[in-house]
Amino acid sequence: MKLVLGIDPGTAVTGFGVVALDGRVTTLVECGVIRTNARDPLPKRLHEVHQGVVELIARHRPDTISIEDVFYAKNVRTTVVLGHARGVILLAGQQAGLSIREYPPSEIKKAITGRGSATKEQVQFMVTRLLRLKSAPQPADAADGVAAALCACMSASLPKMPEFSLSALLAKAAQEKRR
Amino acid sequence: MKLVLGIDPGTAVTGFGVVALDGRVTTLVECGVIRTNARDPLPKRLHEVHQGVVELIARHRPDTISIEDVFYAKNVRTTVVLGHARGVILLAGQQAGLSIREYPPSEIKKAITGRGSATKEQVQFMVTRLLRLKSAPQPADAADGVAAALCACMSASLPKMPEFSLSALLAKAAQEKRR
């Protein structure tokens, strides 16, 4: 059995889901959100997000952390602040020595619904089906965390998926630059 | 006396400078860079940047950490990755309970040279003068970390310091050269 912690990063609300993978059967262990106060300064909020993820890792001891990649919002500042939150989440995973997976939002949607452009409702419907739940995880950000975890489970139980992760792309870009 | 740790964040090279402020006198304590390997995955590099800053804080016990704000590069991806690095640096400052200052690049340049659009060389020249060094801190990223620290020192010791204006010092330097 493998345990995957899925994270949908945010500075205001970070969604998470812990999913157990046994063979090809996935089961929801826990899901929820880490909320921070928008009136607090960014460093304090980053500290709370980091601490929240550190505690989740300590409680569940997952093998893998699966993190949704940056969504390139029209507002660049929003995207950059989201980058700060992802930074401390990736750090928490690295500090715990977990296997780290990163997936763009469209890849998570595709893994779960078969369509990269699926709506939030379609993703929630499929998450509910795949985990045999009575209703979709609430709030929606928690469902997105669960979807990230499911995506890692599904790529683990499949033959290779092309690697679209940010770090892989960066490494590739650095290699190309060196040539 | 106050101790300020200045940081110029980056994923490849993070520059830092530790500056002591005694009344109005600033003295360079240490400067350098934290380098990460471009071939390593992003989480590992973030861990190294965080660890490097944590160690600097443990060694110098600064009162304040002064961090250069995101430079909005034309390449949004570059800016977002820089956001990840800033996230773990802000986290290190918050974890240590430091007073945290953030300044946009133009504000740092203005505080040091009197001009927000000063060149890298002008900033290095003034950093060298202000700290009475024989030559500019090397490499350039270290000088940028020192500049961030100086910027916090100068806003702390305000009201304004007209004697630090670039043109006056440049004129003086030219005069001295002529003698």
Residue A48 corresponds to which tokens in the numbers above? 């709370």
Confidence of residue A44 (pLDDT cuts 50, 70, 90): very high
Complex ipTM: 0.84
Average pLDDT estimate for B144-172:
70
Query: What is the value of pTM for the model shown?
Result: 0.85
pLDDT, one tens digit per residue, over B129-142 is 999 999 999 888 99
Q: Do B79 and A80 touch (CB under 8 A)?
A: yes
User: Quick check: is B68 catalytic?
Assistant: yes
* Average predicted confidence (pLDDT) for chain A: 89
Q: Is residue B150 scored above 60 in pLDDT?
A: yes
Interface test with chain B among A170, A175, A177, by most B beta carbons within 10 Å: A170
Query: Could you give the CA distance from residue A30 to residue A21 in angstroms, rounded to a whole number?
Result: 13
DSSP A91-154: HHHHHTT-EEEEE-HHHHHHHHHS-TT--HHHHHHHHHHHTT-SS--SSHHHHHHHHHHHHHHH
Q: What's the confidence (pLDDT) of residue A137?
A: 92
Amino acid letter, A86: R
Helix (H, G, I), strand (E, B) or coil at A32: strand
pLDDT, one tens digit per residue, over B75-134 is 888 888 999 999 999 999 999 999 999 999 999 999 999 999 999 999 999 999 999 999
Q: What's the confidence (pLDDT) of residue B159?
A: 45
Q: What's the confidence (pLDDT) of residue A74?
A: 74
pLDDT, one tens digit per residue, over A144-174 is 999 999 999 988 764 444 444 556 556 666 6
Average pLDDT estimate for A134-143:
92
Confidence of residue B173 (pLDDT cuts 50, 70, 90): low
Name the residue with tokens 């995955």.
B41
Helix (H, G, I), strand (E, B) or coil at A19: strand
User: Quick check: is B63 catalytic?
Assistant: no
SS3 breakdown of chain B: % helix, strand, coil, rounded to 5?
50, 20, 25
Poorest-confidence range of A97-106, A146-155, B59-68, B151-160? Answer: B151-160
Amino acid letter, A46: L
Pairing of strands A2-8, A13-22: antiparallel
Based on its alpha-carbon atoms, the radius of gyration of chain B, rounded to whole angstroms, reads 16
| Residue contacts between A and B (CB atoms, under 8 Å) | 99
CA of A132, closest CA in chain B: separation in Å? Answer: 33
Q: What's the confidence (pLDDT) of residue A8?
A: 96
Q: Tell me, yes or no, if A54 comes closer than 8 A to chain B by beta carbon.
A: no
Q: Do A170 and B81 touch (CB under 8 A)?
A: yes
User: Quick check: is A68 catalytic?
Assistant: yes
Per CB-CB distance under 8 Å, the chain B contacts of A99 are: none
Q: What are phi and psi of B68, to 5 degrees?
A: -65, 135
Q: Do B86 and A81 touch (CB under 8 A)?
A: no
Q: What's the confidence (pLDDT) of residue A75?
A: 80
Interface test with chain B among A65, A79, A82, A90, by most B beta carbons within 10 Å: A90
Query: Could you give the CA distance from residue A130 to residue A103 in angstroms, rounded to a whole number?
Result: 19
Comparing C-alpha atoms, which of B76, B74, B56, B72 is closest to residue B64? Answer: B56
